[in-house]
Amino acid sequence: MSESKYIQRGAMTPEERSFRSQVKKLVNGQGMLHGTLISRMKVCGRANCKCTRGELHEGLYLIVTENNKPRQLYVPKKWKQTVQQWIDNYKEARELMDEISRIHWDKVRNRQD
């Protein structure tokens, strides 16, 4: 096998080129975030608020893991769509990277350059 660190474009299958192109677009063009967006219903604490009668407020939280510890961060409602898109972009990039990894696994298994 060649000692080159880089795979020549001509040595890639069309499938691999497509996956790499899609990853590149995600990484270079859009935000990415590894986390989960959750909704919690809560009471605000004001005595006369509707939430004291059972009509709870929705709070959005971003859950991430840092140093093997779960962390949460409040997300304003106006950020919901953006944060969810970043999370979706991360998941898509991860799936594409897994496909590229599968291709290279097959190359090692089949002893192909």
Q: Whole-angstrom Cα distance, residue 97 to residue 32?
A: 14
State pLDDT tens for residues 87-98: 999 999 999 999
108: number of Cβ within 10 Å: 9
Rounded-to-integer distance, Cα 90 and Cα 96, Å: 10
- Name residue 58's beta-bridge partners: 41
> For 11-24, what is the mean pLDDT?
85
Report the residue count for the chain: 113
- pLDDT tens digits for range 22-55: 888 888 888 899 999 999 998 888 888 988 888 8
CA-based radius of gyration for the chain = 22
DSSP state of 32: -
